[in-house]
Amino acid sequence: MAIRLAKLFNTSVISADSRQCYKEISIGTAKPSQEELAAVPHYFIDSHSIREEVNAGMYEKLALQYCQEIFKSSDVAIMCGGTGLYIRAFAEGIDDMPEIPAAVRQAIMAQYEAQGLSWLQEEIQRRDPDFYAIAEVQNPARLLRALEVLEATGKSISTFRTAIKRQRDFRIIKIAITLPKELLHENINKRVDLMATAGLVEEVKSVLPYRNHNALRTVGYTEIFDYLDGKLSLEQALEDIKVHTRQYAKRQLTWFRKDKEYTWFDSREGDELENWVTGQL
């Protein structure tokens, strides 16, 4: 749909996916195909190496630069992707977070790998109970970030959050597309099977040296790491990816539904969506 709109308005697509920016991982991230990438110009696809850390603060600055470039030749830019935090950073700005020394990050990661999620939850609950009360306690990436900030600065991550919305000098139109749950789940299951056929295991093997990278502590990679470690059969790992992807999709829907500025469409209603967007402009 993003490509269709980009063709309609003779413009480019800015990806808002926190993992598709990495050159080394394409299968597990469900990156657009070469044909799709050739159809219209794309930004933030294959733009970084897995050796780099990319975060929402960096994305805000990059995406605003991409927009400036696109606006030189077009009145419209299309942003597409499911990383809600990146989209929010672009649309509203994000607070500057402190730099975390590599040694602090590595020490926390080593403890997390040795002791698991329950240790991480207990650490945050004990040391930063106010943040824990509002945290996504089942999301290790969020808890790891909070513990890193606490360890590096002695302050709660909450103290760095001002929640002040920045004003942009362009208009933002927010659209979300979805499908009935049965169809969505069917598509997820098919996509995981296609990933397996396309060589997901080989891709995960190729990035084993970077397995602690934030981009690889996610669905599609952690399960295959467990398979390679001998903890799961390949069949079970693929089944776990399907289950975890369905759970992730549910969390994404919850996130985006909280933002009342979105107008929702069934993804099969392409003509209706296109007409609505055209009417907005």
| pLDDT tens, position by position, 39-71 | 999 999 999 999 888 888 899 999 999 999 999
Q: How far apart are CA 205 and CA 211, in angstroms?
A: 10
Claim to verify: residue 175 and residue 265 sit in the same structural domain: yes
Supply the CATH number for residue 217's domain. Answer: 3.40.50.300
Question: pLDDT tier at 131 (50, 70, 90 boundaries)?
Answer: confident
Helix (H, G, I), strand (E, B) or coil at 48: strand
Claim to verify: residue 143 and residue 170 sit in the same structural domain: no
The tally of domains found in the chain comes to: 2
Per-residue pLDDT, 14: 98
The per-residue pLDDT of the chain, averaged, comes to: 93
Claim to verify: residue 187 and residue 271 sit in the same structural domain: yes
Claim to verify: residue 17 and residue 155 sit in the same structural domain: no
DSSP E strands in 4-153: the ranges are 13-15, 42-43, 78-80
Supply the CATH number for residue 151's domain. Answer: 1.10.20.140
Domain membership of residue 237 as a residue range: 2-95+164-280
**Which residue in 265, 281, 209, 243 sits closest to 49, CA to CA?**
209
Boundary of a domain, candidates 160, 184, 199: 160
Per-residue pLDDT, 253: 92
DSSP E strands in the chain: the ranges are 13-15, 42-43, 78-80, 174-178, 262-266
Q: What percent of the chain has pLDDT over 90?
A: 74
Claim to verify: residue 135 and residue 39 sit in the same structural domain: no
Claim to verify: residue 46 and residue 139 sit in the same structural domain: no
Claim to verify: residue 71 and residue 178 sit in the same structural domain: yes
Task: Give the mean model confidence (pLDDT) for residues 12-17.
Answer: 98
Helix (H, G, I), strand (E, B) or coil at 268: coil
